[in-house]
Amino acid sequence: MSQSIKIKNALISVYYKDGLEPLVRLLAQQGVQLFSTGGTEQFIKDLNIPVTAVEDLTGYPSILGGRVKTLHPKVFGGILNRRALASDQEQIAQYEIPEIDLVIVDLYPFEETVKAGGTEQEIIEKIDIGGISLIRAAAKNFNDVVILASKDDYSTLQQQLEAQNGETTLAQRKAFAKKAFHTSSHYDTAIFNYFNTEEPLNVFKHSISDSQTLRYGENPHQQGVFYGNLDEMFTKLNGKELSYNNLVDVDAAVALIDEFEEPTFAILKHTNACGVASKPSILDAWNVALACDPVSAFGGVLIANREIDLATAAEINKLFFEVLIAPAYQAEAVELFRAKKNRVILQRNEVALSEKQFKTLLNGVIEQDKDLVIEGPEEMTPVTEKAPTAQELKDLHFANKIVKHTKSNTIVFVKNNQLLSSGVGQTSRVDALKQAIVKADAFGFDLKGSVMASDAFFPFPDCVEIAAEAGITAVLQPGGSIKDADSINMANEKGIAMVTTGVRHFKH
């Protein structure tokens, strides 16, 4: 059953007026009586379209500085009355309440005011009361009422009314109601999260309106959707749409590069760095980072923290890659990359990122603070007879940044602000160490004079012994094992320096 209903009376009260005029003109042409308030009422009058002020309907003016305008039985009775219920119709007639068949309303810009850094008073005044009540009332009574809670729906309703002689179907009204309840729930979530900062309640509430359907999820048989505004985060200069796996790698790349201030290039594969280097120029950083593991770099995600010039682009262009991210590009560099239409070139924009992260787990959601801590030389405590040199401390800091963003168990070798090799995602720390040594040897790196970092403590002295024999001169670890003394003694025996940080950086 379509249960088509013709719109006779409409209440229109919106904060944003853009895009409203065509719909208002159509409603007037179809003989709909319009009720409105404040600025919207004046907007309609300026179109030379008849409109009745809500205060003329209710007999009450807008009061309390505009906080109370529509909260009245003649408004909500007109929206909530059930057309098929005789008792409702008797009361509507008794109190001379017009049936309101269409409600067009939006909400005060609460989120925008918070984002713009408004004062607490400004933010509180942007908590909409009348608007949210109108939306819920009209959506609840979708059986008889159309609710538009977003300007994005103006053209949809206009097309329906033009095609259906001013009528809407039940299915159409229910669809609008669904969108309206999303609007109200999203709005309430934003308000709650604003208040839930000091002594927060342990509840999980998030609402993201923007979404992008992905080609598929982690594998082709899985569906995937990204919830968020990628256009705010990046300006895409070239390439196909990002995939699920691309996005996971891009997230890891952004987190890693943000650890570095000097010109740095990083190459990632499956969220792990296979090349990182900080050098005086971004071109040098690229060449040195690629040398770490050019095999794994094939098809990887690349990220830099400086502008990509044409000379650097020409070198990058020799490699097949999936995604390149940088804060800026020379125009000639972009033109070079555009020769291959599928390669994704992203210009990163300045966007504040969340300090929380979460994911679904078992029958719920797990949430935590992001790991935003990184220990520099000042937080490194020497525990061996030999203290690290200034250069070793600098390299240990560099290595610690990479360890933090590499899958556990992990071992990282660094020399002169360059990743030499790493062992990633191993079930044994010794296996991670051996993997890193094998990789360094495979690409011709001499580990003599390098430093080693571990994401967690050494339960036994074997890793220190093996690494020392491979040529490292200093090692960083969080410490905290009941057998720390064994590893420290081994370092002293081998004549290498060791520092502890007191902070573990597991990444699962």
Question: What's the per-residue H, E or C state across 373-425?
Answer: CCCCHHHCEECCCCCCCHHHHHHHHHHHHHHHCCCCCCEEEECCCEEEEEECC
Averaged confidence pLDDT in the chain:
93
Q: For the residues 14-29, what does the mean pLDDT come to?
A: 92
Q: At 243, is the pLDDT very low, low, confident or very high (cuts 50, 70, 90)?
A: very high
Which CATH number among 3.40.50.10490, 3.40.1170.60, 3.40.140.20, 1.10.3080.10 corresponds to the domain 377-500? 3.40.140.20
Distance, in Å, from the CA atom of 143 to the CA atom of 145, rounded to the nearest integer, reads 6
Q: At 437, is the pLDDT very low, low, confident or very high (cuts 50, 70, 90)?
A: very high
pLDDT at 260 over 90: yes
Q: What is the pLDDT of residue 39?
A: 87
Q: Give me the percent of the chain exceeding a pLDDT of 70.
A: 100
- Active-site entry in 8, 151, 270, 386: 270
- Active-site entry in 6, 8, 140, 386: 140
pLDDT (tens digit, 9 = 90+) per residue, 371-430? Answer: 999 999 999 999 999 999 999 999 999 999 999 999 999 999 999 999 999 999 999 999
Distance, in Å, from the CA atom of 474 to the CA atom of 488, rounded to the nearest integer, reads 11
Residues in the chain: 508
CB 304 within 8 A of CB 343: no
Residue corresponding to tokens 């009745």: 52
Q: Indicate the domain borders of the chain.
A: 5-196, 226-348, 377-500
pLDDT (tens digit, 9 = 90+) per residue, 30-62? Answer: 999 999 988 899 999 999 999 988 888 887 787
158 three-class SS: helix
Q: Which of 198-202, 317-321, 395-399 has the lowest mean pLDDT?
A: 198-202
Phi and psi (nearest 5°) for 281? -125, 155
Q: What is the pLDDT of residue 2?
A: 60
Q: Which two tokens stand for residue 66?
A: 């505009």
The C-alpha angle with vertex 286 and arms to 285 and 290, in degrees rounded to 5, equals 115
Q: For the residues 301-330, what does the mean pLDDT come to?
A: 97
Phi and psi (nearest 5°) for 326? -155, 160
Instruction: Decide the pairing of beta strands 300-304 and 264-269.
Output: antiparallel
377-500 matches 226-348 in CATH topology: yes
Q: What is the dihedral of CA 231, 234, 237, 238, to 10 degrees?
A: -80
Distance, in Å, from the CA atom of 392 to the CA atom of 386, rounded to the nearest integer, reads 12
Give the homologous superfamily in CATH for domain 5-196.
Methylglyoxal synthase-like domain (3.40.50.1380)
Q: What is the pLDDT of residue 421?
A: 96
| Amino acid present at 259 | E
Q: What is the pLDDT of residue 1?
A: 44
pLDDT (tens digit, 9 = 90+) per residue, 458-482? Answer: 999 999 999 999 999 999 999 999 9
pLDDT at 450 over 50: yes
Instruction: Decide the pairing of beta strands 9-13 and 102-105.
Output: parallel
Question: How far is CA 374 from each of CA 297, 398, 405, 453, 457, rounded to the nearest angstrom?
Answer: 26, 10, 11, 13, 16
pLDDT (tens digit, 9 = 90+) per residue, 60-85? Answer: 787 787 787 778 888 889 999 998 88
CATH classification code of 226-348: 3.40.140.20
Helices 170-195, 130-140: axis angle to 10 degrees equals: 140
User: Has 140 been annotated as catalytic?
Assistant: yes
pLDDT (tens digit, 9 = 90+) per residue, 351-372? Answer: 989 999 999 999 999 999 999 9
